[in-house]
A and B are shown apart, each in its own frame.
Chain A
Amino acid sequence: MRVSLFITCVVDQLYPRVGEAAVELLTRLGVEVTFNPEQTCCGQPAYNTGYRREARAVAARTLDLLDRELRTSDYVVAPSGSCAAMVKKCYAELFARELEERERARRVAGRFYELSQFLVDVLGVEDVGAVFEGRVTYHDSCHLLRELGVSGAPRKLIRAVGGADFVEMSAPEACCGFGGTFSVKHPELSAAMAADKAADIERSGAEVVVACDASCMMQTAGVLSRRGSAVRCLHLAELLVSRGGQ
């Protein structure tokens, strides 16, 4: 099986270790991983801020690239629920009036998966052989949870990690407050939401909070570190390539 990684711009620029983990994880599972370095961004920042002209220009290019990737790969996988939701859901709206692009978006959407969804629903794997000693909690990223309806897959994968003690925080589905440009336009509101999230994570007693989106990590880790918290923030892929220890 051949998978083309859509690595997302945030992972590429800020969290390349997440992309490395995704490559290692999929490789260990027997998947042939490819990556097209021509890729840039899904277009979500502009789309969410109302600049559809700009979003469409970037999305059209990405859509074309993904479509080409799918000629040689079976699936496209992204370590992000948010970018996956953009491609799987919003492209249809963005290209509602362009017949050809809309059809291409529909085709790509059917074979585009968020990582945890891909592991559980496509590969049929829950235990990936990871070992991690410690207490772990999980934050539901909004777009993964509410746009793609994925909440079980990441939990199954975490529960199967050897040595990991999985605990739920009291409101795992509460937004971390990132919201892309929301956090830039209304940073105080965004920070107030993040503070609640951080407090909830700390109350859970977990040493590590796992998320499926680098943007949520950026927000949550940023607040935890500012609070001087000892809780670490990991992407699911990073947890799943762990082979023991903390």
Chain B
Amino acid sequence: MTMESRKHPDGPETFVENYRRALDDSGLRGALATATGKALDSRRQAVADVGEGDWERLRSRARAIKEHTVEHLDFYLAQLADKVERGGGHVFWAQTAEDARRYITELAARKGCGVAVKSKSMMTEEIGLNAALEAAGVEAVETDLGEYIVQLAGERPSHINMPAIHKTRGDVADLFTAKLGVERDDDIARMAGLARRVLRRRFAEAGMGITGVNYAVAETGTLVLVENEGNIRLTNSLPRVHVALMGIEKVIPRLEDVDVFLRLLSRSASGQQLCSYLSFLTGVKTSPSEEGPEEFHLVILDNGRTGMLANPHLRESLFCIRCGACLNVCPVYQKIGGHAYGWVYPGPIGAVLTPQMVGRERAAALPFASSLCGACRDVCPVKINIPDMLLRLRHEIKEGVRKSPPRAATRPAHHRLVTDDEADDEAEDELYVAPLRHRAADFVERALFMLWAAAMKTPFRYRAASRVARVAQSLFGRRNKDAARVLRVPRWAASRDLPPFAARPFRERWPELSKDAEEYRAAKIALPGDRPTRDGKGPAAARRG
């Protein structure tokens, strides 16, 4: 393993460097603005068609189902596993990403699968499955168009459900020319047709099909898969072995609950009323004449999720249905895209999930990458209070409430092979220590906030601090013009003017103001400029004593 990959050059720990690169990429910003704008417009229309009231009722219902399920997760997971096994499927409980990777690669070896086709699955990204399969000599082929593009480019998805959102049509045409040896053609339909022809052959060759899971119904053992391209259906039905990978939070109690989530998911993601293809998979075939795979394996993965479950302040992380709406609406995501976040899940929900999965120390910057505007909470189909969880994580990071070791210990393994030192490397991850300059900045920040609190605790010190600021301003500021530079916030001031401290703060003006107001009220006369108001409730009428 090279030193380069040990430093994880584009991981969450280098978030600032990552987003600076992204901000400089005007092509990326254009692609993001177009795609997120389109998705948001469609969503807005779809929600309007449902009607505000009905939409809110759906959201509340979905949230109630998630709350109930997560509260009784052990029960529903056991029920699910039992039903799947009775239907002829195999269930594997994976504690860590490594457990899941090992199970799937060993299964492929045992079954003699040289090629595995995959549908889009964030779970497989989370555990770095492609790299593990490659290392085990199994060729993993992504069959979702966006995911296929990303795989050809040797990148990782930059959005939860629009993996290639960062690429323009021209980028894709260039990529296809370079990688598939075809003549350049940037017609979208023809490019999709080309990918389809290439991929159809791979479906026929594959011995294993790997999918994610949208919903796993406990009462029936049914897996629900949502898609628009038809590739999931081919992935789970053509190869001999079907492996489905799900996080423990994907279980829902009853078949009728599926309806609530389906109504919310496609509308939130893309503004569609319903996805183009919807599969309900229950059990494996019982006779050779039936269609479908011969074997079915369900891998149920924890990978840090029981840690979220155990923390009442962050439990809502498990409610996410991966619609991607919070990414689309987030002004930060819109500017920098998904790669800058440095791991699998980007955007607001990524800023909540990543620190919990890879470790709060390693992803310490992410919860702070938000102005806390709250647009993500408003758009979330399950009403996840993302801003509150970001605040909570900030608190845990700064005051070390839960210095949890990274339970997941997985990293973006997409661009490199898993090697024998993988285990060593993960041990190294757990001992992640922030670089000295980050720790120094943290120290200074903490000291500043202690000073701030001390100053704010008594009016005397508050006034003293405000005087010190004014003296500093008059000493160093050129006629109050450059307060920002005086305060040594050059990065802030690079693009904005900062207002100077007022010559006299409000509290010093108050005695006069108070006197004026007193006189005005005593006189009860109209001031110059008073005019009669339209509703009669204006100055004259409201002066009721």
B543 in the interface, Cβ–Cβ < 8 Å? yes
A150 in the interface, Cβ–Cβ < 8 Å? no
Q: How distant is B524 from chain A, measured CB to nearest CB, in Å?
A: 9
Q: How far is the CA of A23 from the CA of B23 in the complex (A)?
A: 43
B529 in the interface, Cβ–Cβ < 8 Å? yes
Given A13-B505, A16-B504, A179-B371, answer yes or no on A191-B394 (Cβ-Cβ < 8 Å): no
Q: Which residues of B contact A167 (CB under 8 A)?
A: none
Q: How far is the CA of A222 from the CA of B496 in the complex (A)?
A: 5
- In chain A, positions 213-232 with a C-beta closer than 8 Å to chain B are 218-219, 221-223, 225-226
The prevalent SS among residues of A at the interface is helix
Q: How distant is B208 from chain A, measured CB to nearest CB, in Å?
A: 42
In the complex the two chains form, is A29's CB within 8 Å of B501's CB? no
- In chain B, positions 91-118 with a C-beta closer than 8 Å to chain A are none
In the complex the two chains form, is B394's CB within 8 Å of A48's CB? yes
A165 in the interface, Cβ–Cβ < 8 Å? no
Q: Which residues of B contact A70 (CB under 8 A)?
A: none
What 0/1 readout, one digit per residue, does chain A (199-219) give for beta carbons within 8 Å of chain B? 000000000000000000011
Q: Which residues of A contact B510 (CB under 8 A)?
A: 35, 37
Q: How distant is A192 from chain B, measured CB to nearest CB, in Å?
A: 5
In the complex the two chains form, is B456's CB within 8 Å of A15's CB? no
**Among the listed A14, A41, A189, which residue makes an inter-chain contact with B456, where contact means beta carbons less than 8 Å apart?**
A41
In the complex the two chains form, is B506's CB within 8 Å of A19's CB? yes
In the complex the two chains form, is A125's CB within 8 Å of B456's CB? no
The residue in chain B whose Cβ has the minimal distance to the Cβ of A30 is B543
A146 in the interface, Cβ–Cβ < 8 Å? yes
Q: Which residues of B contact A37 (CB under 8 A)?
A: 459, 507, 510
- In chain A, positions 16-63 with a C-beta closer than 8 Å to chain B are 16-17, 19-20, 23-24, 27-35, 37-41, 43, 45-55, 57-58, 61
In the complex the two chains form, is B520's CB within 8 Å of A27's CB? yes
**Among the listed A57, A142, A145, which residue makes an inter-chain contact with B371, where contact means beta carbons less than 8 Å apart?**
A142
- Interface size range of chain B in the complex: 35 or more
In the complex the two chains form, is B374's CB within 8 Å of A142's CB? yes
The residue in chain B whose Cβ has the minimal distance to the Cβ of A194 is B496
What 0/1 readout, one digit per residue, does chain B (37-78) give for beta carbons within 8 Å of chain A? 000000000000000000000000000000000000000000
Q: How distant is B148 from chain A, measured CB to nearest CB, in Å?
A: 31
In the complex the two chains form, is B537's CB within 8 Å of A193's CB? no
A244 in the interface, Cβ–Cβ < 8 Å? yes
Q: Which residues of B contact A160 (CB under 8 A)?
A: 533-535
Q: How distant is B333 from chain A, measured CB to nearest CB, in Å?
A: 10
In the complex the two chains form, is B517's CB within 8 Å of A194's CB? no
A129 in the interface, Cβ–Cβ < 8 Å? yes
Please give the number of chain A residues whose Cβ is less than 8 angstroms from any Cβ of chain B in the complex.
90
B436 in the interface, Cβ–Cβ < 8 Å? no
Q: Which residues of A contact B446 (CB under 8 A)?
A: 51
Q: How far is the CA of A15 from the CA of B466 in the complex (A)?
A: 14
A243 in the interface, Cβ–Cβ < 8 Å? yes
A188 in the interface, Cβ–Cβ < 8 Å? yes
In the complex the two chains form, is A12's CB within 8 Å of B20's CB? no
- In chain B, positions 253-279 with a C-beta closer than 8 Å to chain A are none
In the complex the two chains form, is B449's CB within 8 Å of A30's CB? no
A195 in the interface, Cβ–Cβ < 8 Å? yes
B19 in the interface, Cβ–Cβ < 8 Å? yes
Q: Which residues of A contact B506 (CB under 8 A)?
A: 7, 11-12, 16, 19-20, 35
**Among the listed A7, A28, A178, A196, which residue makes an inter-chain contact with B530, where contact means beta carbons less than 8 Å apart?**
A28
Q: How distant is B205 from chain A, measured CB to nearest CB, in Å?
A: 45
In the complex the two chains form, is B497's CB within 8 Å of A194's CB? no
**Among the listed A13, A53, A181, which residue makes an inter-chain contact with B501, where contact means beta carbons less than 8 Å apart?**
A13
Q: How distant is A186 from chain B, measured CB to nearest CB, in Å?
A: 6
What 0/1 readout, one digit per residue, does chain B (360-387) give for beta carbons within 8 Å of chain A? 0000000011111111011000000000
Q: Which residues of A contact B513 (CB under 8 A)?
A: 20, 23, 35
The residue in chain A whose Cβ has the minimal distance to the Cβ of B534 is A127
Q: How distant is B375 from chain A, measured CB to nearest CB, in Å?
A: 7
A126 in the interface, Cβ–Cβ < 8 Å? yes
B397 in the interface, Cβ–Cβ < 8 Å? yes
The residue in chain B whose Cβ has the minimal distance to the Cβ of A38 is B459
Q: Which 3 A-B pairs have the closest CB atoms?
A: A179-B371, A243-B529, A50-B398
21 contacts between A and B (CB under 8 A): A7-B507, A14-B499, A15-B502, A29-B543, A30-B544, A38-B459, A40-B458, A46-B453, A52-B395, A123-B542, A126-B535, A129-B539, A131-B529, A131-B531, A142-B371, A162-B531, A174-B331, A177-B371, A179-B370, A223-B495, A243-B529
Q: A11-B506, A184-B492 known; 20 other A-B pairs, CB under 8 Å?
A: A12-B466, A14-B500, A15-B499, A16-B509, A28-B543, A29-B539, A32-B517, A33-B517, A40-B457, A41-B462, A45-B449, A48-B391, A49-B394, A49-B398, A50-B398, A123-B537, A188-B20, A191-B494, A192-B335, A193-B371
